[in-house]
Amino acid sequence: MAMRARQKIRAPRRGLNTNKNDDFETNWEGLSTSLKKIHTKDASNLSFEQLYRNAYNIVLMMRGEELYERVKMLEQGWLDTEVQKRVTVAVSSVLLQAMDQAEIQDQENERRDNGERFLNVLKEAWEDHQVSMGMITDVLMYMDRVVSADHKKPSIYVTSMALFRDSVLQSVVRADADSTVADVLKSTVLFMIQLERSGQMINRLLIRHCIYMLEGLYETITEEESSKLYLTMFEPAFLETSRVFYKAEGRRLLETGDAATFCKAASDRIAEERARCTSTLSPLSEPKIKDVLDKELIGSNIAEVINLEGTGVKNMLDNDRTDVLRNVYVLSARVDSKKTPLTAAVQKRIVEMGDEINKSAIAAAQAQPTRSAEKTAGSGKKSAEKPVNLQTMSAIKWVDDVLGLKTKFDKIWEESFRSDPTMQSAITTSFSEFINSNTRSSEYLSLFFDENLKKGIKGKTDAEIDALLDNGITLLRYVKDKDLFEAYYKKHLSRRLLMKRSVSMDAERQMISKMKMEVGNQFTQRLESMFKDMTVSEDLTANYKEHIRQAGDPDQKPVDLEINVLTSTMWPMEAMSTIKGDEVQLPCVFPKEIDNLKQSFEQFYLSKHNGRKLSWQASMGTADIRATFHRSSGKVQRHELNVSTYAMVILLLFNDVPEGESLTYEEIQARTRIPDHDLIRNLQSLAVAPKTRVLKKDPMSKDVKPTDRFVFNNDFQSPFMKVRIGVVSGSANKVENQDQRKETEKRMNDERGGSIEAAVVRIMKQRKTLVHSKLMSEVLSQLSARFVPDVNMIKRRIESLIDREYLERVGEDPPTYGYVA
Amino acid sequence: MSEPTVLRKDQLEISLHNEKKLIKEGAIKDDNPLDLSDPFRELCAACRKGDLKVCQEKISEGVNINARDPYDYTPLILASLCGHYEVAQLLLESGALCERDTFQGERCLYNALNDRIRNLLLEYDYSKSTDPIQPLAAHISSLITRDHPVTSDIVVTAEDESLYLHKFILSARSPYFRTKLAAAPDTITWKLPNTIPPQAFAAAIKYLYFGEASRELRSGPGTGFTESEVFTGIDRIAKHLEIDTLVDSILDSGDRRLARQRRTAELTKGRDQLEEWFRSNVLHNKLVVETSKAGDVKWDRNNAIFADVLLQADELLGDTDEYSNGALQPGDCADTGSKEQRQKSVLFPCHRAMLLRSEFFHTMFSSQFREAHLEDHLHIINVDCSPDVLEIILMFLYTERADFPLDVAVDVLFAADMLFIEKLKTKAAVVISTLGSGNMSQAEAAKTRGTTEEDDLDIYAIIRAAWMTRVQRLEEFAARYLAYRLEAHIDSPEFAQLIQESASRIQGRQETDSIELLDDIRFYLGERFRLRFTDAGLEEMMEEEAEQHATGAITNDGSIEEVIHGIETIDLTEKGVEQTSQRGQDHDHDIRNLNGEIVGDEFDQDSMNYDILMDKLDQILESLDLEA
C-alpha cells in the first residue's frame, strides 16, 4: 500500500524538480500549432483530449503561468497581424473623411455602403475571435482553473477579449491618421442612426451585432458592468448626437405651431427610440435616451406647446379634445410628476371660465334689480310661472353653470388625465378658487337647494333627486365658508318649514344626511333640531286642542291654534325677527280674542314645561280669517283670507271701525305696536298689491307713508274663495340686498368670533402653554372645516381672551401663551 | 412535523406517539431503526472514540448510519456529544440526518459539545438535501430537457409531442424496454400507441429518469384528457413498462414525509438498477487490447449496449519510475515503444450522457473538436489514468458509488482533478484523510505517545498532491498527521524542504509572512498536547502557546522580545534539546529516561515535549529564513 502511494506520487514531483524544458516545448509546440488551426477554422480534426492533455501536463509541470503568457503572446500576434489588417483595410477613405462632418448629403449613399461593408468585416472578425477563444478556453480549462485561481489573473478568455479591444478596436486606422477603428465604428453607427431618424431603412441587425461586440468588451480587466465599452465609448456620443437632434427637432415641431401635431410627433419619436434601443442598440440605453427625449424634446418645449395660441390646451379644453389632451398629459407626466405647465394651463382656464360664470350671474342679478323687486312684491306665489325673481334665477343659473363646468372637467380628468390625483387636486383648487371668489356662492348654493326643494324636485324620481342633491353637495365641498352656507341654509330651511313650502320631507332629510356625510355631524346638528322642533310642535298642537276640548272652553268662537314652538338657539331668530341692535321693541298688541288664546296656551305650555319662556314671533305666523264684504249692492261676499299674523291683527282692527271710517298709519301703529318695518310691508300687501287689496289707501301710491289713511275695502274682488295674501318680501326666499348682506356678515363675524374663542380655549385647556404660531395653526386647522378664519380676527380674539384673563402671556421670544385655569 | 410553529410538550408527545404507532403499523418507515448488529456497535464505539478510520470502514461496509443503539443514540449524536468534529463531518457527508424539528435532530443539536460542531450540524439541515444519491438523480432528470450536447439516441413520439430519450436508461430502468431493445437495439424511433395519454407517458418517463413524482399531471381543459383518464393511463403504462411503484409514488406525493421516504427508496432502487446494468453491460463489455492496437478497435454506432463513446486507459508498465512516467504521458509513443514489454490498454464502452457529469467531458462534447463530431465508429478517448482508476471513476459517474481502497486514492484524486469531478475529489480526500489517519485519533494518541509505528502512506507525497489538486481538507489532514508524529519527522531534511516549499507557495501568492503548513502544524500540536495538561497548567500553556503563535507569526521581525523568549525556552529544555538532537528520532525515549531523574510527572513530560517540538519548529524556521 505504502509503496503504491509513493510510487504514484512521484510523477508530478519529477516535473516539479527537474524542469524538462524539451517536454514543455514539445507540449507547447503541439498546442500552439493547434491553436493557430483553430483561428484559421481548421479545427474539426483536432482532438480535444490531446490538446487538453498537453495543457494539463504543462500545468502539472508547474509551468502554467508560462503557458498562460505564451498563449497570450500567440493571441496578440494573431490579432496584430491578421485581424487588424483585415479590419483596417475595410475602412474606406469616405468613412474617414466623413467622420468630422455631421451630414454630407451628396456622399450619403456611398458612405452608407462603405459603412455597412466595414461593419460587416468588423462583425465577422469579432465573431470569429469569440468562437476561437471559446474553443481555446475549453482546451485550456485546467490552466484557467489553476493559474487564474492561484495567481489572481483573469481567465485567458477575458485576457484575449482585452487583447481584441487593444489590438483591433483601438488600433489606428491609417498610419497618418489618428482615429482608431473604434472611432470609425462609432461615427458609422451614429451616421446610420441619423439615417434612420430621417426615415430611411438601415440594416438594424448588423448594427445590433456590432453593439453586441461593444457590450461584450470592457475597459478594465475586472469586467465591471459600468466599464463596458458600449457605455464608456459609444453611449455618450450617441446621447450627445441625440440631444442635438432632438433640440432641433423640438424647435422644428414648435414652428409648425400646432400642439396636436407636436404631441403626436413626440409620442412617435418616443416609441421609435424605444424600439431602436431594443432592436438596434442596447436596452441599457433605453432609460438614458428616454431622459434625453424628456429633457430636450418634451421638457423644454411642453410649456410652450401647452400655451400655444389657438391650438394649445385652452383650445383643447374648449373643444373637448380629450384624445389630444391625453397626449399632452402623457408627455407632461414623463417630464414632471407635478405637470406644472399643464396644471397651470388647466387651472387658468377653469378660473377664467368660472369667472365668466360669476360675472354673468352678477350681471344678470344687477340687470333689473329694481324691476325684479317690484315684480316679486305680491306675486311670490306665482314666481314659478314667471321669471319674476331674476336674482334668484341667476343664482340658480350660476349653480347650474358651475355644475356643468364641473361635469366637463370631470370627464376630461377621467378620459385624458387618467384620473391623476395631482390633476384632480389642481382642478379642485381652481374650482374652489373661483367659487370662493364669488362672495355670494354660499347664498347662491343655499338658494339652489331651496329652489329645488320647493319646486325643482316635483315629479322627479328618487334617483334624479339624489343626483341633483349630490351635485349640490359637490359644490358645497368647494365652498370655504361653510358656516355662512349653514346660516343661509338655516334661514331658508326655517322658512320652508314654517311656511310648509317643502315638497317632500324625505328629500329634506336626505339632504341633511348628505350634508352630514360631507361636512360632519356638528354642522347639521342645528338643522336636525329644527326638524325635531317641528314634530314636537305638531304633538303639542294636538295636545293643546285636546286640552281645550276637555276644559270645555266657553268661548263661542274658538280660534284654531296651530303652534310651532322653536328652540331659540337653533333657529335663525335674527333672520326672522326684525329687531335690530339693542332697540327695545314692545311686543305687538294682539286683539282680545287672540290675546286670550295666547294666554291660555302659555298657561298650558308652562304648566307642562316649567321655567321656560315663550316669546311670540308674530312676524312668522299666518292666520286664516273669514272676512265678510258688504257690497254696495247690498250683497254679502265672503272670502277666506290667508294672511300673516300681523295682517290679521291689522284687519281685526277694522272690525271695530265703523263702516266708511278710516284709520291712519299712525293710529294703526299706536294700537298694534307692530314694528314699522313689518307694518309697512303688511300694509303694502293689504293695500297696494293689486290682487289682494283688502284695504284701500288714501292717497293711492306705492309707498306707505305715516300720514296715509286706510279704509276697509268692501269692494274687494277675487275669483277665488280662498285668497292668499303674501307679505311683500321676506316671505319668499331670495337673494339678499346690500343691507341684508351687511347684516348677515356682521352676524357671521360675531358668530365666528365665538367659534374662534371657543377653539382657542379648547386648545389651550389641553396644552396649557403654547407658542403663538402653533396656536394659530391649530386654530386654523380646527376651524377649516367650517370656515377660513381671518388671522387678524384670531389675534384680536386672543387679545380679548387675555384681557378677560382666560389666557396669559408666558414668554416673549417666541411669544407664548399660557392657560389660566 | 414541518409546521413552523413550536409545539407544546404534550402536543409533541402526542405526535411522537402517533408516529410510533404509524411505524408499528408499517405505514411509514422509521428514520432511525433500532440496530443491534455488531458492525453498528463498532461504528458507535468508533464514534465515541473519534476513530475516523473505523468509521470510514464501517460506512463503506454499508452500515446504516442513521440507525440507533439500544439507548436511542445515533452515531451522529454520539460523535457530536463526544466532540469529534471530523467524525461528525464524515457522518454528515455520508448522509447522516440532522433535521431540525425532529426528535433525534434536536437532540443532536442540543447535545453538541461545542458551537463549532453545532454550526456544522446546522449547515447540514435537511433543507440542503443531503441525500447522497440526489446529484446523480438530478443529473439524470436533467437529461430529458438537456439539448446540448446531443446525447439522446431514441425519439419517442406521442401524438404531437416528442421525447428525446436514452436507450441505456430506459433499458436499465424498465424490464419492458430492456427486452424490447434487446430484440431490436438499433431502433431510433418509437411511436406510442395513441390510447395512452401523452401526459401519462411523460409522467412515466419522468419517473424513469429519477424525476420527482408530482400530482400535477397537466390534465384538465385544453389537454383533451381528464385527470382520471391520465391516471388510468399511468396505471396502464406502469403495468406495461413494468414499473410497479410509479402509481404509488404519485398517490403518495401528498404526504411530505411519506413521499420523502418513498423517494429515498426509489432513488436507491434506481441506483441499484443502474449499477447492475452498468456492471453487466459496461464493465462486462470492456476490452483488453495491446496499446499499440487500441486505435484499431472499431465499434459500430449501433451496438447492443448503446454505448456512444469508448474510453481508453493504459495499463502501467511495470513498477519502475521510468515506466510510470511513460504511462502518464502516453502521447510520448517513442518512449514506451522502445520498451520490450507490451503495454495493455483497456477500453470501456460508455455513454456520453453519463460522462457529462464531468466538466471535462461536458466541455469536450460541447466543443467543436473532433470528439464532438458523430461518426460511424465510436471515438476512442484516452483517459490518462490506470484502468482500475478509470473503472472507479465510471462507477462513480454512473452510480454515485465511490468506495475504493486507500492505495488508489491518490490516483483517483489526480484523475478526478484532471476530469473536473469535484465530488469524487472530495471523496478521495475523505478516503485518504480517514483511512490514512491510522492511529491518529485523539484517544489513541494519548496511549501511543512516542511510538514509532511504520507509516502506511507517504505524507510528503500526500501534502504535495493536496497542493497540486488544491484540496484544503487534505492539507489540513497532512498538517494534523505531521503534528501527531512530529517527533518522527521533525529532524528529517525532507520535512525542512516541505516547510520551504510551503513558504514559497505562499510567497508566490502574496507577500505574507506566515507559513500555512507550519501554522496548521502548530495548531494541531496544541490540540494534541492540550488534552493532557492539568487544569492549573492549562491556562498557562494556552498563554504560552498563544505567544508561541505570535512569535511564529512575526518570525521575520526579529523583535527583541522574541529573542529573549526564545532564549528562555531554550534554557528551560536545554538538556532535552541536546539529547534529542544527538539521538535523532528516538528523543521521546530519552525524555522518558530523563523523566525518571528530573521530573517524575507525566504532565511535566508532556509540556516539556511540547516545548521541545515548538522550539524545533522555530529552529527550522530560523535556518530556512537564513537561507531565504
Residues B175 and B299 in one domain: no
For B364, the closest chain A residue by CA position comes to: A48
Q: How far apart are CA A631 and CA A717, in angstroms?
A: 10
Q: For B78-133, how does the pLDDT look when each residue is reduced to its tens digit (9 = 90+)?
A: 998 888 888 888 888 887 877 766 777 788 888 888 888 888 888 776 544 556 77
Last residue of a domain, one of B71, B105, B129: B129
Among the listed residues A514, A422, A440, the one whose alpha carbon sits nearest the alpha carbon of residue A477: A514
Chain B residues inside the 8 Å CB shell of A5: 406-407, 409-410, 457-458, 461-462
Check pLDDT > 80 for residue B19.
no
B390: CATH: 3.30.710.10
Residues B117 and B139 in one domain: no
Residues B146 and B243 in one domain: yes
Q: For B338-397, how does the pLDDT look when each residue is reduced to its tens digit (9 = 90+)?
A: 444 567 888 888 888 888 888 888 888 888 888 877 777 888 888 888 888 888 888 888
Residue B3 lies in a domain: no
Q: How confident is residue B523, by pLDDT bands cut at 50, 70 and 90?
A: confident
Chain A residues inside the 8 Å CB shell of B406: 1, 5
Q: B176 to chain A, minimum CA–CA distance in Å? A: 37
Chain A residues inside the 8 Å CB shell of B477: none
Chain A residues inside the 8 Å CB shell of B371: 47-49
Nearest Cβ partner for B319 among A7, A49, A149: A7
What stretches of B278-358 show up as alpha helix (H) in DSSP? Answer: 321-328, 333-337, 352-355
Q: For B394-435, how does the pLDDT look when each residue is reduced to its tens digit (9 = 90+)?
A: 888 888 888 888 878 888 888 888 888 888 888 888 888 777
Cβ–Cβ contact A561 with B under 8 A: no
Residue B551 lies in a domain: no
- Residue A773 confidence (pLDDT): 84
Nearest Cβ partner for B329 among A48, A57, A138: A57
| Three-class secondary structure of residue B65 per DSSP | coil
Q: A34 to chain B, minimum CA–CA distance in Å? A: 11
Residues B84 and B209 in one domain: no
Cβ–Cβ contact A676 with B under 8 A: no
User: Between B243 and B543, where is the model more confident?
Assistant: B243
- Residue B593 confidence (pLDDT): 41
C-alpha cell, B118: 453545532
Residues B98 and B195 in one domain: no
Q: Which of A4, A28, A141 to mutate to test the interface with B (most CBs of B within 10 A)?
A: A4
Q: Which helix or strand (DSSP H or E) is residue A244 part of?
A: helix A235-256
DSSP conformation letters of A269-324: HHHHHHHHHHHTS-GGGHHHHHHHIIIIIIITTHHHHHT-TTTSHHHHHHTT-HHH
Amino acid at A231: L
CA distances from A577 to A253, A264, A568, A617, A809 (A): 69, 66, 11, 7, 42
CB contact under 8 A, A57 and B420: no
CB contact under 8 A, B462 and A48: no
Decide if A697 contacts A708 (C-beta within 8 A).
yes
Nearest Cβ partner for A56 among B359, B406, B418: B418
Cβ–Cβ contact A22 with B under 8 A: no
End-to-end CA separation in angstroms for chain A: 103
Check pLDDT > 60 for residue B512.
no
Q: How many domains does chain B have?
A: 4
Nearest Cβ partner for A5 among B331, B382, B457: B457
Q: Which of B369, B375, B421 to mutate to test the interface with A (most CBs of A within 10 A)?
A: B369
If one counts every other C-beta atom within 10 angstroms of the C-beta of residue B539, the result is 10
Last residue of a domain, one of B129, B157, B180: B129
If one counts every other C-beta atom within 10 angstroms of the C-beta of residue A36, the result is 15
Q: Which helix or strand (DSSP H or E) is residue B163 part of?
A: strand B161-165
User: Between A581 and B311, where is the model more confident?
Assistant: B311
End-to-end CA separation in angstroms for chain B: 62
Residues B488 and B621 in one domain: yes
Residues B411 and B363 in one domain: yes
Q: Which of A48, A128, A137 to mutate to test the interface with B (most CBs of B within 10 A)?
A: A48
CB contact under 8 A, A146 and B324: no
Q: Which of A6, A8, A52 to mutate to test the interface with B (most CBs of B within 10 A)?
A: A8
The three-point CA angle B518-B522-B523 to 5° equals 115
CB contact under 8 A, B458 and A2: yes
CA distances from A541 to A527, A529, A565, A642, B437 (A): 22, 18, 10, 19, 115
CB contact under 8 A, B461 and A9: yes
Residue B52 lies in a domain: yes
Q: Which of A3, A6, A7, A9 to mutate to test the interface with B (most CBs of B within 10 A)?
A: A9
Chain B residues inside the 8 Å CB shell of A22: none
CB contact under 8 A, B321 and A60: no
Among the listed residues A128, A33, A139, the one whose alpha carbon sits nearest the alpha carbon of residue B367: A139
In chain B, what are the helix, strand and coil shares in percent, each to the nearest 5?
60, 5, 30
Which residues numbered 43-82 in A keep a CB inside 8 Å of some CB on B? 43-54, 56-57, 60
CB contact under 8 A, A2 and B462: no
Interchain CB contacts (distance < 8 Å): A and B:
111
Q: B83 to chain A, minimum CA–CA distance in Å? A: 31
CB contact under 8 A, A13 and B461: yes
Percentage, residues of chain B above pLDDT 90: 0
- Residue B185 confidence (pLDDT): 77
Chain A residues inside the 8 Å CB shell of B509: 150-151
- Residue A370 confidence (pLDDT): 44
CB contact under 8 A, B371 and A56: no
Q: Which of A47, A49, A57 to mutate to test the interface with B (most CBs of B within 10 A)?
A: A49
CB contact under 8 A, A52 and B360: yes
Nearest Cβ partner for B369 among A9, A47, A151: A47
Residue B327 lies in a domain: no
- Which residues does chain A have with pLDDT short of 50? 1-20, 368-388, 578-583, 730-732
- Residue A384 confidence (pLDDT): 37
CB contact under 8 A, A46 and B370: yes
Residue B194 lies in a domain: yes
Q: How far apart are CA A696 and CA A715, in angstroms?
A: 10
Please name each of the domains of chain A with its CATH number: 21-187+204-227 (1.20.1310.10), 340-367+388-528 (1.20.1310.10), 622-727 (3.30.230.130), 741-819 (1.10.10.10)
Nearest Cβ partner for B464 among A13, A142, A149: A13
Q: Which of A52, A127, A147 to mutate to test the interface with B (most CBs of B within 10 A)?
A: A52
Among the listed residues B616, B592, B605, the one whose alpha carbon sits nearest the alpha carbon of residue B492: B616
Q: What is the mean pLDDT of chain B?
A: 72
Q: A57 to chain B, minimum CA–CA distance in Å? A: 8
Residue B1 lies in a domain: no
What stretches of B534-601 show up as alpha helix (H) in DSSP? Answer: 535-553, 560-572, 574-583, 587-598
Among the listed residues B67, B115, B107, the one whose alpha carbon sits nearest the alpha carbon of residue B91: B67
Residues B313 and B375 in one domain: yes
Q: How far apart are CA A614 and CA A596, in angstroms?
A: 15
Residue B494 lies in a domain: yes
Please give the residue range of the domain that contains residue B599: 437-447+456-535+594-627
Q: A9 to chain B, minimum CA–CA distance in Å? A: 6
Which residues numbered 152-191 in A keep a CB inside 8 Å of some CB on B? none
Chain B residues inside the 8 Å CB shell of A139: 369
Cβ–Cβ contact A7 with B under 8 A: yes
Residues B143 and B120 in one domain: no
Residue B565 lies in a domain: no
Residues B201 and B113 in one domain: no
Q: A1 to chain B, minimum CA–CA distance in Å? A: 5
Residues B142 and B50 in one domain: no
Residues B398 and B360 in one domain: yes
Chain A residues inside the 8 Å CB shell of B470: 146, 149-150
Q: B277 to chain A, minimum CA–CA distance in Å? A: 27
ipTM: 0.72
Percentage, residues of chain A above pLDDT 90: 0
Chain B residues inside the 8 Å CB shell of A49: 364, 371, 381-383
- Residue A151 confidence (pLDDT): 64
Among the listed residues A196, A279, A265, A189, the one whose alpha carbon sits nearest the alpha carbon of residue A230: A189
